[in-house]
Amino acid sequence: MKNIIAMLVLAISISGCATMIVMEPVQNQNMTDKFTLQGKSFAVSQKANSKILASMIKNDDGYLEIVLAISNISNDRIEVLLTNIKILCTYYEYDSYRRSDEGKQRIVNLKVYSAKEWINKVETNQALAAALTGVAQGMKAANAGYSNTYNSNGAQSTTYNYSEKAYVDNLNRQETNQMYRSFEDEKAGYNSTLLKDNTLFPRQFIVGTVYAKYMEGQEYCLLFKINDEEHKIDFKPVENR
């Protein structure tokens, strides 16, 4: 258990965001236990052959972030597959023809990203950021070194300072290098914590983070099928941090 907690702390420290909506596990027959770790509430679901610990938040990037620990407590191997994870969002529609407490229940199956899909999404965002930075740097470089002066008659003359242009070009190179280093660090952080498909042998465990699309709702349900067992944990949004 201590090893699992240590891995959870690592996953939280890398993936955690400054502001978030916390999802509190709902106490019911599906949840064995719950605890709080670094401001996140974890639910425990235990079956005969597998055990999971799970937390859920909406992060400040607008996605659901689910930190999971999966343990094999059987005498046989188990398969951890992201295609067996579902996140269901429940919300209620209200209209003027119904009383305020008679909203129509809607349930939406939210998109859960595989590790590869999430990294592709990160790389797409990075490419857009790099393109916008390149445009801004190009505008700065195009104007660097030029200065206009006017004589007493109002006539304009333009001079060019090669040193100033070289200075701006050097700053742009430094900014670009730093940007790409930060991109690589970001991807490395995700690669080290994203949950991936895995086979767990008896007494093995794995910890990782899963991301899903977010929509506003009153309840969220995590369904995770491991071999022939299905874990079900319900969450409710409780606060902003």
Kindly calculate the radius of gyration of the chain based on its CA atoms and give it in whole angstroms: 25
Residue extents of the structural domains in the chain: 2-112+197-240, 119-189
Q: What percent of the chain has pLDDT over 70?
A: 80
pLDDT of residue 170: 86
pLDDT of residue 227: 95
- Comparing 223 with 153, the larger pLDDT belongs to 223
* Domain 2-112+197-240 = CATH 2.60.40.10: no
pLDDT of residue 28: 82
Residue with token string 């941090």: 241
Q: What mean pLDDT, rounded, does the chain reach?
A: 84
Strands 104-110 and 85-93: antiparallel
The Cα 189–Cα 74 span in angstroms is 31
pLDDT of residue 96: 56
Task: Please count the residues of the chain.
Answer: 241
Q: Which residues contact 190 (CB under 8 A, 6 or more apart)?
A: 14, 15, 118, 119, 122
CA angle 76, 77, 78 (to 5 degrees): 120
| 35: pLDDT strictly greater than 70 | yes
Report the helix count and the strand count for the chain, using DSSP H and E: 3, 14
How confident is the model over 223-230, as a mean pLDDT? Answer: 96
pLDDT in tens, 110-141: 999 999 999 999 999 999 999 988 888 887 87
pLDDT of residue 189: 87
- If 0-12 CB within 10 Å is exposed, 13-18 middle and 19+ buried, where does residue 57 land? buried
pLDDT of residue 150: 63
Running DSSP on this structure, what letter comes out for residue 138?
Answer: H
pLDDT band, residue 64 (cuts 50/70/90): very high
**Paired tokens of 221:** 């349900």
pLDDT of residue 155: 62
**Paired tokens of 31:** 């949840």
pLDDT in tens, 148-177: 666 666 666 666 677 877 888 888 889 899
Reported pTM: 0.80
pLDDT of residue 6: 58
Of 231, 233, 210, the residue nearest 220 (C-alpha)? 233
The helix (H) or strand (E) run that includes residue 229 is strand 229-240
